[in-house]
Amino acid sequence: MPRGCAALLPGVCAALADPRQPGLDDTCLEKLLDWFRSLTWFDPTVELVQDNPCLTELISSVLALPEPSPSILSFTLQLAGILASSESRFQHLQQEKLLERLFGQAGPRGRAVWEDASVRSGWVKGVHSMVHHQPALHLLCSEGGMDVIFTLQGDPSLFVASAASQLLVHILTFSVESEPSKPLGTKDCEWPACAQMIKRHIEESLQSSSASRIEQSLKLLTSLFGSCYAAWTEALWLDIAKQIESFLMEETVQAQHLLANLLLNVARSPVFCDTEGSFWALVTSALEHLTPVQAGPLAVGLLKLCKCPQDVRIQALTVLLQPMDCILRAASQPLEYAGLLDESVSDPVTVESLLSSKTSCAGLLCQTLAHLEKLLSLKHLEVDLPCMSLLRSLMAILQFCNGFLSPASPLGSTISRNLINCFRVQKSALDVLAALSEKKGCDTLLGSLFDVLLAYLESPNTSPTVLKKAFQATSKWLMHLQELSCSSSQCQRTEKILKDVFVVLQKRLCSPCWEVRDSSLEFLTAMIKCLRDQDEFRQCLLSSEVPRLTENLLEDPESYVRASAVTAVGHLACITYFAPESPVLGNQDNKENTVAKLQEILSTDSEGFPRRAVISIFTKWLREGCTGQLEDTEQFVSRVIQTVEHDLDWEVRLGGLELVEAFCSQTICQRGLSECPYAPAPSAATSASHQQDLLQGFCRAKLFGFLFRSLCDCDKPVGQRACDILIGLRGNFYPMSTLENPREIGDSPAGRGIAWLQRTLRQGSLAQNFPTGGDNGVDFQDPESMMVALGAIDLLELHDELNKSSDHVEESPQSLLQDILATVGTIEDNEVDCY
Amino acid sequence: FTACSSCPGAGQDVGRSCILVSIAGKNVMLDCGMHMGYNDDRRFPDFSYITQNGRLTDFLDCVIISHFHLDHCGALPYFSEMVGYDGPIYMTHPTKAICPILLEDYRKITVDKKGETNFFTSQMIKDCMKKVVAVHLHQTVQVDEELEIKAYYAGHVLGAAMFQIKVGCESVVYTGDYNMTPDRHLGAAWIDKCRPDLLISESTYATTIRDSKRCRERDFLKKVHETVERGGKVLIPVFALGRAQELCILLETFWERMNLKAPIYFSTGLTEKANHYYKLFITWTNQKIRKTFVQRNMFEFKHIKAFDRAFADNPGPMVVFATPGMLHAGQSLQIFRKWAGNEKNMVIMPGYCVQGTVGHKILSGQRKLEMEGRQILEVKMQVEYMSFSAHADAKGIMQLIRQAEPRNVLLVHGEAKKMEFLKQKIEQEFHVNCYMPANGETTTIFTNPCIPVDISLGLLKREAAIGPVPDAKKPKLMHGTLLMKDNSFRLVSPEQALKELGLAEHQLRFTCRVHIQDPRKEHETVLRVYNHLKGVLKDYSVQHLPDGSITVESILIQATAHSEDQGTKVLLVSWTYQDEELGSYLTSLLKKGLPQSTA
């Protein structure tokens, strides 16, 4: 423990134990416990408690209080548990029987204060921290602690109940694994005493008639098999498997989803991966017996497993595909399409009845679709998905939802009634649709797919959230369309689709709802990003009204929309004004207009988002070489820097620094200087003249003033970034080796200025304040001075300072102790207030 | 019906407000707040308690946010964009507009820290806000076919609302934070006499007897005035929007009245922003502001000007509102550092500060602060704490209960021990149950809902025609078949029910054996019975059939001799359920035996 903290600790302990002190903020106590946890984690020695007797004193004085406050008692229980986590400290505390008095029968368990959930929670957490060695386990068992934990599993507080369950898992694992290793059988007597108790408790609970006890045990088993993969878990499983099977078959217990969770965790455990027969037979029968809604999570979990019998996988997939199959059959004429599934495998009655019911239809479909989306996102799936039929089924769902499909079959018409205007299902289906775009084999359906999507994009009934998903799915499928080989008929079709898309987009860009305008702009940007190289796309886009409407949105009243418009305009410019092969090329006015507009937004927009968008577009342009010749670029950069330097939004300033960084590395590359310090060096003479050019260029662009002032920015990330850039630049002018030994500053007028700068920075980076009046003779545009500054200022030291603590929320333990002491010291109880 | 409320978040006043309500099978999450005091997972509510029930979007029917304070909405982008909730989110229009500003503010502070992961980005905040459905006051919003919500004015901050959640005839009202007394820019909370089954009320100030607001304001103005008079500078660290505007109005009017000349500044950019929103949502402010708005916008301050970094070094007195409110970063901390060393200056902290911040340190009386790089900053300026937040006190809570007339009350946001008094008072005065669940505890409330049932017109007409004329005062008994399908209840005629359900009709007959002593032949006994019944049941059609049996309406009577005792005859009486009354009457009649001599 640091000396400063050790000195403060006795005072803090005394204050905590003093019942007259006002209650402390719970966060302080929690953080104090965090600190003790970190102190004891790697250090089992007794020193902590020996050297700081105040800790034991704190525990005994809290124990001596007739009516301790629940929060202090809870804290003490947890603290004692943390301290007692090593055997030596446990013994030290037990010299005064402290742990027995806290966790034993005589402790708070029997007192009125036990009514308070925080005390019970503290007790459970304390025991959890403590039980890492046999004496602790012994103490717990001998003092009747196990029964307390069993009871707490059903605690009215969710937190306590869940912590108790976790604790039992921990104790069981610890108890088995701390005994000398011998293979465990199913016979009770072979298990260590404490494990036996828990095992028996689980078995008894499972056989009891109480639903809540059964649920508790199922939860416990689920987390046990989820966290412990030791071989002995198999013995436990063999013991309870019959019971689990009977729950599945008899359906007397309403805990089907817990059973599914349990089976999934057992299936995941490597212990069971080779089990031929019984376990997987149980899983198979679970897939059969559980309702589709209950079996869904189990099925998707099984499909993610690497090791799982293929027939189980196929059955799991069947569970997931059944609703989709049912939809497809309900939607189509008999024999029109083969269904998704071989009918003999599936019994469609349950699914049909679920889909026919208004209440369960949307729920089942949403869940199924979410599972399918998960499956589609997996890189490796050991079974084949029937993508084409899946796509048909998805299209049917989407058409049911917007009323475009109302088949004559009774099931079909019921489902269409159930689904019409159901946003939840629409969103889920569109998500899956987007994910499906990456699969092959659906190309014959592209035409009708885009019809469905366009209907969604066009319809005024499409809600903004659904529209956003429809846009996302459309852009994914457009990308897919582009990847297809381009025969002339294909090209025509693509062109037609694109034209239709732009017509819709035009309308959507004028929507009164800002969410829609924003999603439309995001969609446009996404399209440009992935389709910019495609001629049809560019032609369709440029011949539509979309570019003009997009520029109009730069003046949108909603700042989010303005920001998205800036991004879209920025990307548009890349394929229009800045693209060499562009039809609009040469229209210098337009180009300058756009740049000027964005520049204006950067300097005048009252909201941060559009300004941030402008600066990142400028950086993008610079990186892509859109900003023109080098001379232009220097001017451009210097203008932007001057604008962002005083921006109120730190992210805009940070964006400005990114622009500077991009500019520097680009210029260095263009001047033929390698950015890499290890690259073969050009001859000294050329190198020197290049350096001179470079430095002059940077000075003309007014980089240095911005960079050095940013070192003192009131927002730390800005200072850190500026420092990184300066260190990088220095490497271009001075050998790397000199970085650690800054140059002396000569006594010239320029030198005096730099010396002032050096002093200012040393204080300023800490005070985060660059003097506002005058630069004391520092000429940030003078290459010579800047060369001196780069060489003389200890950037590494600054870098360390800036990185030492990057926030002002002091997180050191010493500060915490000081704060606690100060808080309990204040006489007035400042009314805690929610601002 | 059970309405369970549990808080996956902590219930202290700066904690994570997050309540889960299950009402008639619908699950609604009320608020989704964060805890400002933590930098790790603990800052967000533990949603794993909800995800145990399956996918969030499937489990939850909607999320409702009461107002824009971070302890009520701070975890929302995390919840919707990172945990993966994709369902509807509701809040009022001003809350939707202002929420992202505060979330951005907080994000800035958080990402400022090194190694900060697991935190939402600007894009996530936007994506989250795009999912929000904004609601108007008193507008009934249909979340789905059964679930509807309605917002009521809550005072507290601009756009704060109480929400009524209704499924069928069961309802819950959630107050969020509210204020029952109007202040300078907001009105008082108000709600219908909506008689919810449960009222979930905040009780932050349930036990605090607060000195009068006027006193606090006078005290504040006096302190500012004195400091300015002696040439000192006053720093007021605030959050962008909220109570800051109340203080601005207070100072502005005071400056006007006293004709003071010292400049007042507000963090640049924010005045405009605040102004913009207050103009936009002028209907959410109080009557006085709305009335005078046409002549003069109260938020266009004459004395309060935008602040520039350079002004901090200006000589002479001034008052500066700067962000952020806990003095832990940015402009407010920068100014604090400049002014801290001068005892003429003053800093007024108008809100709560979390441990570790400079604000917390100076409020707890620390005067030598170790800043970075082992620099010690000596704080000589005066430090004042002044709470201006607007919550209902015990009186206000009672007033709201009187307004809404709930059947049960549940108090959140407060210390159980201290709230006991209020609980007793509520139970005594209103004779309702009052609950105070601890964090993570579930409260279950049972109600007796009246369930509306649709009745088919045909059945209604038919039943109305039978018996006395319908009378509004006398309940009338009707017979029909109750169909429960697709969450709706319908009363239809049995025939229609059979038709709808595709079931065949079965006749049920009740049969009873009656033994009578009669040594005569069977057909003679039958004749005796027939004559007896004919005499007693004059209004009914009693028939003696050729096969030897008797019918009385649908009731059939046959006689056989007892197998062992020829002197005893067994009468088999059977009837359908429609004639049950007559059937049982007949049996009891026959059990009494036949009259001795019949003609």
Helix (H, G, I), strand (E, B) or coil at B368: strand
Q: Which two tokens stand for residue A806?
A: 């990057």
> What's the rounded Cα separation, in Å, for the pair A459 and A768?
54
Q: What is the CA radius of gyration of chain A?
A: 35
CA distances from A565 to A517, A529, A612, B535 (A): 9, 14, 12, 98
Q: Which two tokens stand for residue A53?
A: 């007797």
Every domain of chain A and the residues it spans: 9-18+39-179, 196-273, 291-453
Residue A834 has pLDDT above 90, yes or no: no
* A20: contact with B, CB 8 A cutoff: no
Average pLDDT, chain A: 86
> What's the rounded Cα separation, in Å, for the pair A772 and B335?
13
**pLDDT winner (highest mean) among A175-179, A564-568, A689-693:** A564-568
Q: Are the beta carbons of B440 and A158 separated by less than 8 Å?
A: yes
Per CB-CB distance under 8 Å, the chain A contacts of B329 are: 714-716, 807-808
Residue type, B245: Q
Element (H, E) at B498: helix B494-501
Cis peptide before B324, with omega less than 30 degrees from 0? yes
| Residue ranges of A 228-257 with Cβ closer than 8 A to chain B | 257
- Nearest chain B CA: its distance from A485 CA (Å): 35
> What's the rounded Cα separation, in Å, for the pair A622 and B596?
122
* CB-CB contact of B516 with B526 (8 Å): no
Look up the pTM and report it. Answer: 0.85
Per annotation, catalytic residue among B81, B170, B202, B384: B202
> What's the rounded Cα separation, in Å, for the pair A473 and A479?
10
Could you give the dihedral angle defined by the CA atoms of residues A265, A269, A275 and A280, in that order, rounded to the nearest 10 degrees?
Answer: 20
**pLDDT winner (highest mean) among A307-311, A366-370, A688-692, B544-548:** A366-370
Phi then psi for A482, rounded to 5 degrees?
-65, -30
> What's the rounded Cα separation, in Å, for the pair B127 and A465?
10
> What's the rounded Cα separation, in Å, for the pair B55 and B38?
27
Q: How many CB atoms lie within 10 A of CB B479?
A: 11
What is the topology classification, in CATH, of domain B509-592?
TATA-Binding Protein (3.30.310)
Every domain of chain B and the residues it spans: 2-209+390-446, 213-385, 454-468+475-501, 509-592
Per CB-CB distance under 8 Å, the chain A contacts of B276 are: 606
* CB-CB contact of B594 with B516 (8 Å): yes
Per CB-CB distance under 8 Å, the chain A contacts of B69 are: 834-835
* A827: contact with B, CB 8 A cutoff: no
Q: Which two tokens stand for residue A29?
A: 């106590």
pLDDT in tens, B22-75: 998 899 999 999 888 887 888 888 888 887 777 889 899 999 999 999 889 999
Q: Of the candidates A424, A468, A714, which has its C-beta nearest B334's C-beta?
A: A714
Q: Are the beta carbons of B58 and A363 separated by less than 8 Å?
A: yes
> What's the rounded Cα separation, in Å, for the pair A608 and A611?
5
| Residue ranges of A 522-581 with Cβ closer than 8 A to chain B | 560
Residue type, B123: Q
> What's the rounded Cα separation, in Å, for the pair A498 and A504?
10
Query: Residue written as tokens 């200006």?
Result: B314
Mutant choice from B119, B339, B372, B412 vs A, greatest count of A C-beta within 10 A:
B372
Helix (H, G, I), strand (E, B) or coil at B569: strand
Q: What is the CATH number of domain B2-209+390-446?
A: 3.60.15.10
Q: Which of these CATH numbers, 3.10.110, 1.25.10, 1.10.3470, 3.40.720, describes A9-18+39-179?
A: 1.25.10
DSSP code at position B516: E
Number of H helices, E strands in chain A: 41, 0
Q: Regarding beta strands B509-517 and B568-576, do their DSSP bridges make them parallel or antiparallel, or are they unpaired? A: antiparallel
Q: Are the beta carbons of A831 and B440 separated by less than 8 Å?
A: no
- Backbone CA torsion sign across A273, A276, A278, A281: positive
**pLDDT winner (highest mean) among A17-26, A448-457, B173-182, B289-298:** A448-457
Q: Regarding beta strands B555-561 and B550-552, do their DSSP bridges make them parallel or antiparallel, or are they unpaired? A: antiparallel
* A154: contact with B, CB 8 A cutoff: no
User: Pick the residue with more confidence: B283 or A346?
Assistant: B283
- Nearest chain A CA: its distance from B509 CA (Å): 34
| Residue ranges of A 377-436 with Cβ closer than 8 A to chain B | 423-424, 427
> What's the rounded Cα separation, in Å, for the pair A619 and A418?
50
Per CB-CB distance under 8 Å, the chain A contacts of B376 are: none
Per CB-CB distance under 8 Å, the chain B contacts of A804 are: 372-373
* Catalytic residue check, B202: yes
- Nearest chain B CA: its distance from A255 CA (Å): 11
State residue A832's pLDDT score. 43
Q: What is the CATH number of domain B213-385?
A: 3.40.50.10890
pLDDT in tens, A721-775: 999 999 998 888 887 666 666 666 666 666 767 777 777 777 655 555 666 555 6
pLDDT in tens, B296-352: 676 778 888 888 877 888 899 999 998 888 888 778 888 998 899 999 999 998 877
pLDDT in tens, A344-356: 455 678 888 889 8
* CB-CB contact of B498 with B504 (8 Å): yes
- Nearest chain B CA: its distance from A182 CA (Å): 36
ipTM topping 0.85: yes
> What's the rounded Cα separation, in Å, for the pair A573 and B261?
51
Q: Which two tokens stand for residue B91?
A: 């809040």
